[in-house]
Amino acid sequence: MLITCVLKDGVVYLPTVAKTEAGFYMDREPVALVPVTNPDALRQALKDAARRGNPIVPTPKRNAFPPPVLPKYAGVKSWSKFMQGASEWTIAEDKGAYRIVPYRKDPTGGPSWVEDRDHKIDFPPGTTADEAFSRMIAIMQDAARR
């Protein structure tokens, strides 16, 4: 299970994360938008995203790759515009082990975002989804206050 969380202007965007047949992930609809100040709604949105899972989809052709889904929800036209002032994390579960990974702008100056592996959180075995979701909510709320 892989969930993407993007915080922008006090709103958390939680897209459905699909896995392509080629093995890479991409954000798809449906997308939940939740105020970061509403922890109960955030927890429910994270649970809903986990239940949706990561559907397997055909790998899009390079010349027919769909545009990013999140910018339209913020009323902007491009991914780079959407990500201005945004923060991104993933929360993943693999064989019962949870991990939260923050993302940062590519240090080489590229347009993409890369994992910030120096700040990832690996939860100990036996951690529940609810515990991992609580930590994710706290991280996003702390980021929104800064």
In the chain, the domains with their CATH numbers are 2-145 (3.40.1590.10)
Cα 6-103-132 angle, rounded to 5 deg = 70
CB 35 within 8 A of CB 137: no
Q: Which of 146, 139, 111, 108 is nearest to 39 (CA)?
A: 139
Q: What residues of the chain score a pLDDT lower than 70?
A: 110-111
Name the residue type at position 45.
Answer: A
pTM of the model: 0.93
What pLDDT score does 111 carry? 64
What pLDDT score does 141 carry? 98
What pLDDT score does 108 carry? 81
Q: Which of 129, 52, 119 is nearest to 98 (CA)?
A: 129
